[in-house]
Chains A and B, each alone.
Chain A
Amino acid sequence: MTQMNMLQAINNALDTAMAADERVLCFGEDVGVFGGVFRATSNLQQKYGKARCFNTPLVEQGIIGFANGLAAQGSVPVAEIQFADYIFPAFDQIVNESAKFRYRSGDLFNVGGLTIRAPYGGGIAGGLYHSQSPEAYFAHTPGLKIVVPRNPHQAKGLLLAAIHDPNPVLFFEPKRLYRASVGEVPDEDYRLPLGEAEVLKEGTDVTVLGWGAQMEVIEQAVDMAEKDGISCEVIDLRTILPWDVETVANSVFKTGRLVVTHEAPLTGGFAGEIAATIQERCFLYLESPIARVTGMDTPFPLVLEKEHLPNHLKVFEAIRSSVDF
């Protein structure tokens, strides 16, 4: 075990994967000698050479198209998009190509080796274009997996699982926690299951569900609620697509209440999908409407980002209202 922040854990996961398998490659804008703008790929070029870790030209659709080709050839590309806000030029390559490669060829070809890493999320004074949470756009695309870690231990285990998963995986990293989240991380290669949510805390009155950086917000909100005598069950969804309906439904059977929170805007956000599925599965068990605590239906602001974000106070209020319904 070593104490690491999330960036170090991600770097360690990439290092572990590259050491174990020479087919693993890391590339993207500034990831080479500089080690990426956040330094997630520090020292990888120095250690594994320019052929396996390198800077690409500044062209996101090119990076992912290139990565698709590499994956189809049998390599294991881990492509970095510098900010999730800049993933959209590659939308076509991800949505029409990565996601459909296997299906359209009748499984003659696939890009299962592909992993796309991108820092996402707000709370860093990044404004419109350094704050977005685009998971829901991609969640509408069968064929992709979407994974979001909440801390360093999860980041290493989930990233290694993503790299080795035989499907293309989008790995969104909560950049607000890159240095803020610190914890013990095993030194060896380990993989946490994709498609499985994790119950972090058992409780009886209400289920509170989130992923990534929102888990820290949930923790604060739940502390407040527990002081008011409310027993919360906390779940980290971890994988957005395909998501773990069973774990969430089983929790709601028990608590009868669900609060879902994400930073992305309300309308079309992934909480809507969760709410629809859970009301189908748990309708007769629900004691109150499923609550969504999210960003507003606006672009991401700058000066008023605190007002925009679903912070612990808003999550706490939703827990309260759900229980008091």
Chain B
Amino acid sequence: MTTTKSRVVYTPSFTDGAEFRIPTFKVLKQDGSLYKGAKAPALDKDKALRIYRTMVTTRILDERMLAAQRQGRLSFYMQCTGEEAAVIGSAAALDDADMIMAQYREQGALAYRGFTIDEFMNQLFGNELDYGKGRQMPVHYGSKKLNYMTISSPLATQIPQATGYAYGQKLAGEGHCTITYFGEGAASEGDFHAALNMAAVQRVPVIFLCRNNGYAISTPAAEQFAADGVAPRAYGYKMDVIRVDGNDVLAMYEATKAARSLAVEHNRPVLIEAMSYRLAAHSSSDDPSGYRSKDEEAVWREKDPILRMRLWLERKKWWSEDEEKQLQETMRREVLETMKRAQKRPPPPLETLVTDVYDEVPPALAQQFEKLKAHIRRYPDAYPKSAEHAKGGA
């Protein structure tokens, strides 16, 4: 049975969807004033400052850790630079009990939830305190207590998982939702389409937040899709959609707040397209000079989301030059000291090689592990990270 209730025409009539022009929601101008007709969201001073401090912290963490990678202290790093408002503004609009299923550039959302610099560093250095037990590359954070699902590198896999997670939340009936973050490149994966369709069909409380930052590594959005961004796809699934200036923290907050109420109170999944720009390289392994111009980057540097929020806070007399200076100094010092501490900690113990593959180590794997330990005992100098741990056993 078809569900289409369309009117009938008697001559061939094509449409390319051009009538669906999706507007961009903006609140805050770059000088910190509001657009005419725009209204600041209901944000008290404490919350506004929590958002701002998190944005600054994320920027400093990113700068220092990229530098650490360049110095060879760290194997790899990925920055959120330029997209702090999109990530932190949206995360701030959620309840702490809502689930976050991110891609890999959303450390700001985790920082907003309260992940400490120590916790970031332990993962980055894969030391014995890393929750992920040194198994994943840097920036693959996760926190059970902060409802932040551990990051997986394969792109877009988290999007249908978010639909499933949120369906479970709907059944549990506790008024929680899931937000999933991804880039406009990942939105080309089949998983994106499956996720949106299933969410719309099942009326799932999930927010799909697409960070349209212009590039998937080197591939510009113009080579990623022919359409006007990612937002129009929501129509195809009959889903609520909004496009937001991703460098406008107030608009991101307001839009996500409204999306959350659609999701949780009305079981309506929402697609948010945050228009922004990946100011940094894709990762520490990438060099954007091979595919985009400094001039293009400069245009976006002028639209810095952190400065934009700071100017708004200053206009409201909620923030001052002195406080800015103090925050910058404190955070830089904390990041540096914490990094030194984390780097000195030993790696996770040898048995983490074989634990968590299953709930228990299967017998055949236990045998492989005993064999490995015996091997390491014969060549302790070749395995400086684990020679000490291999001493026990048969």
Interface code B197-219, partner A: CB below 8 Å = 1, 0 otherwise?
00000000000000000001111
**CB of A87, distance to nearest CB on chain B (Å):** 10
Contact of A59 with B357 in the complex, beta carbons under 8 Å: no
For B350, give its contact among A60, A297, A307 (CB under 8 Å).
A307
For A127, give its contact among B135, B364, B379 (CB under 8 Å).
B135
**CB of A190, distance to nearest CB on chain B (Å):** 31
A265 to B348, CA, bound (A): 21
Cβ–Cβ < 8 Å partners of A128 in chain B: 135-136, 153
Q: Which of B218-256 touch A at CB < 8 Å?
A: 218-219, 223-225
Interface code A20-36, partner B: CB below 8 Å = 1, 0 otherwise?
00000000011011110
Contact of B354 with A37 in the complex, beta carbons under 8 Å: no
A2 to B108, CA, bound (A): 49
Cβ–Cβ < 8 Å partners of A57 in chain B: 185, 188, 219, 223-225
Q: Which of B276-297 touch A at CB < 8 Å?
A: 285-286, 290-291
Contact of B353 with A296 in the complex, beta carbons under 8 Å: yes
Contact of B219 with A314 in the complex, beta carbons under 8 Å: no
Contact of A34 with B134 in the complex, beta carbons under 8 Å: no
Number of A residues near B (Cβ < 8 Å) is 42
Contact of B290 with A34 in the complex, beta carbons under 8 Å: yes
Contact of A297 with B364 in the complex, beta carbons under 8 Å: yes
**CB of B150, distance to nearest CB on chain A (Å):** 11
Is A180's CB within 8 Å of the partner chain B? no
In this complex, which of A54, A58, A130, A297 has the most chain B Cβ atoms within 10 angstroms of its Cβ? A58
Contact of B219 with A58 in the complex, beta carbons under 8 Å: yes
A125 to B382, CA, bound (A): 17
Is B320's CB within 8 Å of the partner chain A? no
Cβ–Cβ < 8 Å partners of B286 in chain A: 37
Which of B111-119, B309-317, B368-376 lies at the interface? B368-376
Cβ–Cβ < 8 Å partners of A85 in chain B: 153-154
Cβ–Cβ < 8 Å partners of A127 in chain B: 135-137, 140, 153
The total number of A-B Cβ pairs within 8 Å is 134
Q: Given A58-B219, A89-B189, check contact A297 B357 (CB 8 Å).
A: yes
A86 to B185, CA, bound (A): 14
Which of A94-102, A237-245, A298-306 lies at the interface? A298-306
Cβ–Cβ < 8 Å partners of A32 in chain B: 218-219, 223
For A302, give its contact among B134, B190, B369 (CB under 8 Å).
B134
Contact of B134 with A304 in the complex, beta carbons under 8 Å: yes
Q: Which of B130-182 touch A at CB < 8 Å?
A: 134-137, 140, 152-155
Contact of B135 with A302 in the complex, beta carbons under 8 Å: yes
Contact of A125 with B137 in the complex, beta carbons under 8 Å: yes
Least CB separation from A88: chain B residue: B154
Contact of A306 with B354 in the complex, beta carbons under 8 Å: no
Contact of A303 with B348 in the complex, beta carbons under 8 Å: yes
Contact of B136 with A298 in the complex, beta carbons under 8 Å: no
Q: Which of A263-306 touch B at CB < 8 Å?
A: 266-267, 296-299, 301-304, 306
Cβ–Cβ < 8 Å partners of A37 in chain B: 217-218, 285-286
Cβ–Cβ < 8 Å partners of A59 in chain B: 188-190
Contact of A58 with B189 in the complex, beta carbons under 8 Å: yes
Contact of A62 with B134 in the complex, beta carbons under 8 Å: no
Q: Given A29-B219, A303-B126, A307-B386, check contact A58 B224 (CB 8 Å).
A: yes
For A29, give its contact among B135, B216, B291, B368 (CB under 8 Å).
B216
Size class of the contact patch on chain B: 35 or more
For A296, give its contact among B134, B140, B368, B386 (CB under 8 Å).
B368
**CB of B365, distance to nearest CB on chain A (Å):** 5
Least CB separation from A303: chain B residue: B134
A266 to B188, CA, bound (A): 35
Cβ–Cβ < 8 Å partners of A16 in chain B: none
Is A129's CB within 8 Å of the partner chain B? yes
Contact of A317 with B375 in the complex, beta carbons under 8 Å: yes
Is A126's CB within 8 Å of the partner chain B? yes
A89 to B75, CA, bound (A): 27
Least CB separation from B132: chain A residue: A302
Interface code A303-317, partner B: CB below 8 Å = 1, 0 otherwise?
110111001011001
Is B186's CB within 8 Å of the partner chain A? yes
Contact of A267 with B376 in the complex, beta carbons under 8 Å: no
Least CB separation from A317: chain B residue: B375
Interface code B353-391, partner A: CB below 8 Å = 1, 0 otherwise?
110010000101100110010011011001101100000
Is A181's CB within 8 Å of the partner chain B? no
Contact of A304 with B291 in the complex, beta carbons under 8 Å: no
Q: Which of B73-100 touch A at CB < 8 Å?
A: 75-76
Is B352's CB within 8 Å of the partner chain A? yes
Contact of A304 with B386 in the complex, beta carbons under 8 Å: yes
A105 to B219, CA, bound (A): 37
**CB of A123, distance to nearest CB on chain B (Å):** 12
Is B347's CB within 8 Å of the partner chain A? yes
Least CB separation from A61: chain B residue: B190
A62 to B385, CA, bound (A): 42
A61 to B217, CA, bound (A): 19
Q: Given A30-B217, A58-B185, A299-B357, check contact A304 B352 (CB 8 Å).
A: yes
In this complex, which of A32, A57, A86 has the most chain B Cβ atoms within 10 angstroms of its Cβ? A57
Least CB separation from B351: chain A residue: A304
A89 to B188, CA, bound (A): 12
**CB of B187, distance to nearest CB on chain A (Å):** 8
In this complex, which of B135, B224, B385, B386 has the most chain A Cβ atoms within 10 angstroms of its Cβ? B135
Q: Given A37-B285, A89-B189, check contact A298 B385 (CB 8 Å).
A: no
Cβ–Cβ < 8 Å partners of B134 in chain A: 301-304
Cβ–Cβ < 8 Å partners of B365 in chain A: 296-298
A162 to B290, CA, bound (A): 30
6 additional A-B residue pairs with CB within 8 Å, beyond A86-B155, A307-B372? A29-B219, A32-B218, A58-B224, A127-B140, A297-B362, A313-B375
List 23 interface pairs A-B (beta carbons < 8 Å), by A numbering.
A29-B217, A29-B219, A32-B218, A33-B291, A37-B285, A37-B286, A58-B155, A61-B190, A62-B188, A86-B155, A89-B189, A125-B76, A126-B137, A296-B368, A297-B365, A298-B354, A298-B365, A299-B135, A304-B385, A306-B382, A308-B353, A313-B375, A317-B378
Which A residues lie at the B interface, using CB under 8 A? 29-30, 32-35, 37, 54-55, 57-62, 85-86, 88-89, 125-130, 266-267, 296-299, 301-304, 306-308, 311, 313-314, 317
Give the 8 A-B CB pairs with smallest separation, nearest first. A303-B134, A34-B218, A129-B153, A57-B188, A58-B185, A127-B137, A303-B126, A125-B75
